[in-house]
Structure 1
Amino acid sequence: MSQNPLSVGTDYETLANRFRPLFRQIAAGTVEREQARDLPFEPIRWLKEAGFGAVRVPVEFGGAGASISQLFQLLIELAEADSNIVQSLRGHFAFVEDRLNAPPSPARDAWFARFVAGDLVGNGWTEIGAVKIGEIITKVRPEGENFVLNGAKYYSTGSIFADWVDVYAQHSDNGADVIAIVDARHSGVSHSDDWDGFGQRTTGSGTSLYVEVPLSAEQVIPFETRFKYQTAFYQLVLLAVLAGIGRAVERDVAHEVRTRKRVFSQGSADTTHGDPQIQQVVGQISAQVYAAEAATLRSAEPLQRAYLARFANDAEAERQANIDAEIETSKAQVVVSELVLRVTTDLFNALGASGVSINKSLDRHWRNARTAASHNPWIFKARIIGDWVVNGIEPKYVWQIGNSVKTD
């Protein structure tokens, strides 16, 4: 085995067929979970046991060796089954990617072993309340050769299901930004399912508290070593969520039209499925979903290039790949958000008033898409793209949110 084997891709159909029966099983319970706000603990356990969290781990370490594009193709298929679960795994796959970009070491290899064993990683980055932009209240305090973590995070997507949590914090003594890798089972860690959004309601988002949580030195990672294309990666997870929602809309509208018995007197056929105007609505939806998925997968390609360039000793190729990753995922975000939001509304043009039945929960597609599309507002992304195209201004690689530092 080479010192640093990389995940360069595998046969996609073979990989996907490992998980498609699980995806179908997950899809069968999605509406019920949505209606009851039942968190998907059991479906996520199925995925853990099947090794889904290790698909990016190199084959030599027991993973599937999937490329980034293949990972996101899988996530789109899973999001078609349940978009909430994909968003719940966002922090996990980002931390896996960070360890894939880490220099070879026993500590890195230990993480690969944890991922292969089924361990999942949650997310603890965002703070709310009286927090100014750029400010981090969550602190890591030195305790001899080790550390202690204290703080609170919101939007802690997936943490309630996780074995570990990837927490953005600062050193209490020198203010340096760090990533604290927290044992989610420690008694000082607590999670609340208090996310109050109207969509993506079973992602396990909400408030996480960290009270005197011990950390070894290996569990505190300098933030400047974080993988460069992280923002593009996080955005791609949301694009996969959106593309998967689009595929679910196409699936559901086709089923509803195919099985509908009632017709309108002003229609163009004696069956709904035979009505050319209804067929046109469904066909337009299918085309828009195709474009959304294609744009998502195309924008994943420069991330794989950035990953490979990381270990190719070509600084300029790595820099350009990271720029491409940020710009291309931004372009995809602008168009995919609009396309999927359109299809989640247009599906009702193919149905009658019965389509808005609460029992069908078809409104969940729009609510979920609107929620995912509200992250990292695309209006700013369009401006960033324009600044790059016109002025060659390199995009920023770390985004932040908080209260304005300016006072009246």
Structure 2
Amino acid sequence: MTDRSNPAAEVVQLCSELIRIDTSNYGPDGSSGERPASEYYAEKLAEVGIESQLFEAAPNRTNLVAHWQPDGCDASLPPLLIHGHLDVVPAQASDWQVDPFAGEVKDGCVWGRGAVDMKDFDAIVLSVVRDRVRSGRAPRRPIRLIMTADEEAGSEVGAHWLVEHHPDLIADCTEAIGEVGGFSLTVRDDLRLYLVQVAEKGLAWLNLIADGTAGHGSMRNPDNAVTALAGAVARIGAYDWPHRIHPAQQAFLDAVEDALGIEINADSVEESLARLGTVARMVGATMSNTANPTMLRAGYKVNVIPGQAVAGLDGRFIPGYEEEFFDTITELLGDKVRYEIANRHIAVETEFSGALVEAMQACLQAEDAQAKAVPFLMSGGTDAKGWSTLGVRCFGFAPLQLPPDLDFVAMFHGVDERVPTASLEFGARVLDRFLDQA
């Protein structure tokens, strides 16, 4: 075994090159494809002797799986699943300062769609693995690398398809790391909290449907589908969901209270955490179930009352409160509106404990003496929803030390998405240490 090499040597270049491969995911009704990025990733692994398998649920919707079990790792241990996704949400170039698919390095950052969601971590993993192979440094245990398609549209031809059709690829893994977590939040000059995701809200995308009597727009109509739907949408939009504080959420709030010397009021958490920047919005969204009307469809002519009106609803529920979510939605809809489930996935949770968590803390502190790892509950969803159905403990741990003034939360799906090059290099060093201990 050689001395520690430089796992961060090519991470910036790899991130830029991945961004240049446009893998925009327009959803099931649009054109998209991850195959070029999967082939790029497979080629980079092949350069250091790691073979990959490519799996497709649909043409060009490509998932990559690689087994890395070199001499020197403890083959008696279950593989650690390290996962990322290769698709990104679309970007409108006219809104950006730079071409969103140029992977430009500017002002100390790599710019482009996917820079933080999540081609940054994809590049970190690739950089570390390639360096360790070249320098002859085996990980402590076998590694299962999975880079998926379709995470940005619900993972139906990605992680969930792999779990359903190829569960043997994941079933021997007991723990996993991926997005979203491991990023820093500076709360004092001498303290950075690194948020490790141990739970994420469940997902319920619903179609709210009102059926009525079609007719002429000039006539009275007590059975107007638009009126019924509008009332239901207004009730849901105005509903004040009760607080449901998950243990991971409480642990995060306790850590912030201790760090800032304040008491956080659950009724005004975003105001209480205002000094932490836009992360306060993310915390506020995980204090309760949420339901946001997002789409409306009705009618085809202004003087025709339609027989049906439909709304789209994005619902998210705290682990353990799925039944409460659907019961509340049913009550708010009333008698004239029903719902159909367009997409539904479980909430995910695990405990912030064990050897893997201890390794995270140790590796963060080795690179940042002011680091403290804390758990958190995320409002969005990840591929962990798929892996966890097979019993895998999933953590969001894609380490990044961030400048205090970077609006990191706004980078996700935002205009001018970018990641500091120093953060990428930090993440590579932390992950490299982590593979020695995980």
Q: TM-score, normalised by structure 1?
A: 0.30
| Structure with the higher fraction of residues in strand conformation | 2
Larger radius of gyration: 2
Q: TM-score, normalised by structure 2?
A: 0.28
| Structure with the higher fraction of residues in helix conformation | 1
RCO greater where, 1 or 2, for CA within 8 Å and sep 6 or more?
A: 2
